Chains A and B, each alone.
Chain A
Amino acid sequence: MVSFINYLINGLSLGSIYAIIAIGYTMVYGIAKMLNFAHGDVIMVGAYIAFSVITTAHLPVACGVLAAIFGCMLIGICIEKIAYKPLRHAGSSLAVLITAIGVSYFLQNVALLIFSSNPKMFTPIIPMTMMTIQFGVFRVQTISLVSITVSIVLVLLLQLFINKTRPGQAMLACAQDRGAASLMGISVNGTISLTFAIGSAMAGIAGVLLCSAYPTLSPYTGAMPGIKAFVAAVFGGIGSIPGAMIGGLLLGVIEIMGKTYISSQLSDAIVFAVLIIVLLVRPTGLLGKKVQEKV
């Protein structure tokens, strides 16, 4: 029982990291109507930025985290402006998808050139002396609690931002009808940039959390969590922020439980199998809206 709860907490911790990444995916999908396959690699960039600041330059952890957030934000905006914006009116969402894959290759290879393919040992953001916390019979990794807390705070902040502020309302408007939004005087370009900025900043945070929990960092670190987060976003109903949160948490728990109780080699297969079953029962994800085509 004790170990079950520990695994559950591990699962929630991993899941909350997936959730943070998935929210970025889902926001970009909802507003820019594209699958940003490079999103996972922004996580890796964030982790390398934090690594450079904390481990290489020996600056305080807070500086590293902030640098990761703002660095990713900047990179996210640049990616959108340079690679995606020219294709916004291409009439094919596939074209942007492929460009996103190009951007993903680009980020991986830049990282490969700068940091080489040798994995780096990431210094966790939690001091060595506070790695675990004891609650009665439970010994919990501090980073797990931090991840879960951060993800909850981020989701709440994001919900507040979207529902209570003007830029947030503009995002909702763009998600629903970009053309109408621009007729109402909303800057669509600005709103899309803002979306990428927020999504990428969250990827930066996810990068730091991910590498604190699993401290090996390579140019391909972001790829698999990126895909998993994408799965989580679809799982929850793509375009829905609470859906991404729930999808991420469920995915993390399923992955850790599958690894522990069924087979460590098959954990990915289990995650994907659950996704397939969920989509067959609810074809637009857990919280996705069913859109019927008007005849």
Chain B
Amino acid sequence: MALLEINQLSIQFGGLRAVDDFNLTVEKGDLYGLIGPNGAGKTTVFNLLTGEYKPTEGVIRLDGKDITGRPAIEINREGIARTFQNIRLFRQQSVLDNVKIGLHNQYVCSPAAAIFRLPSYYAVEKQMNEKAMELLSVFDLEGEADTISANLPYGKQRKLEIARAMATNPKLLLLDEPAAGMNPNETEELMADIRYIRENFDMTILLIEHDMRLVAGICEKLTVLNFGRILTQGETKEVLKDPEVIKAYLGDD
């Protein structure tokens, strides 16, 4: 059974069908790319997947379970985590605390234990700190654990968002333009990081990206969206050779 199955997903905003008849199957362990020109509806697909928008039509299944139209909080608990195109960190909190917030549902500690500083509070804090530092070290951020996250450089903010999403222990990770605003070196590092988490955390990854080097470098399969509809779908190499795709990106001439 596929990890993620999307059937005939559509959403209508007023007169605009932002996503129309979208189908996608992601197998466990896939590193899947979702590409297309600006305004093609890629982020809208993510928003539908994560419960920010409710689809007009269609079904989304995760691990065989229908999660269509459920609220964002529940979808995260079912096992989908995401990053955002316009970075959404908890800006006033430290890098470490950002990841610890991601760990929220992995650990349990009653408010009373926290308020009265019972031993269980210290035990849980210790476990959370260790787990968070482990995740930060994947992205080389452990040295900045105490930095206020808003003060991180842009590239590191994007990585921190991935670490925070990973902290929720998802089955499927959605990355929305993870390399946007990064220089070539940072992009190289990011590609290595994405490969690393796929191998070492058994992660399935679906990502949106414009940087073709990243897409060609790490994605095994691609879906190309244009004007809210699927243009083509398949193995990365085949898709990138498709004349329709080239036309959509570069225009007719």
Number of interface residues of B (CB under 8 A): 4
| A294 closest partner in B (C-beta) | B86
Which A residues lie within 8 Å of B52 (CB)?
295
Residue of A with least CB distance to B50: A295
Q: Is the interface of A mostly helix, strand, loop or mixed?
A: loop
B14 CB → nearest A CB, Å: 13
Q: How far is the CA of A293 from the CA of B210 in the complex (A)?
A: 24
Binary flags per residue of A278-295, CB closer than 8 Å to B gives 1, else 0: 000000000000000001
Please tell me the number of chain A residues within 8 Å of chain B, measured between CB atoms: 1
Shortest distance in angstroms between B37's beta carbon and chain A's nearest beta carbon?
19
Contacts of B90 in A (CB 8 A): none
* Identity of the chain A residue whose Cβ is nearest the Cβ of B43 in the assembled complex: A295
Task: Give the residues in chain A near B47, CB-CB below 8 Å.
Answer: 295
Q: Is B121 an interface residue (CB 8 A)?
A: no
Complex interface: chain A residues within 8 A of B227 (CB)? none
Bound state CA distance, A195 and B137, in angstroms? 53
**Closest CB in chain A relative to B113 CB, distance in Å:** 32
Say how far B128's CB is from chain A's closest CB, in angstroms: 27
Question: In the complex the two chains form, what is the Cα distance from A92 to B52 in whole Å?
Answer: 27
Bound: A295/B18 CA distance, A: 14
List which A259-295 residues lie within 8 A (CB) of chain B: 295
CA A295 – CA B53 in complex, angstroms?
10
Which chain A positions have C-beta within 8 A of B84?
295
Q: Which residues of B contact A295 (CB under 8 A)?
A: 43, 47, 52, 84
A295 to B52, CA, bound (A): 8
Identify the closest chain B residue to A293 (Cβ): B52
In whole angstroms, what is the CA distance A295 to B44 when docked?
Answer: 9
Residues of A within 8 A of B43 (CB): 295
Query: What CA separation (Å) do A212 and B47 show in the bound complex?
Result: 57
Identify which of residues 42-97 in chain B touch chain A, using a CB-to-CB cut-off of 8 Å.
Answer: 43, 47, 52, 84
Write 4 A-B pairs (CB below 8 A) sorted by A numbering.
A295-B43, A295-B47, A295-B52, A295-B84
List of 4 A-B pairs having minimum Cβ-Cβ separation, nearest first:
A295-B52, A295-B47, A295-B84, A295-B43
Q: Taking beta carbons and an 8 Å cutoff, which residues of B are in contact with A?
A: 43, 47, 52, 84
Q: Which residues of A contact B (CB under 8 A)?
A: 295
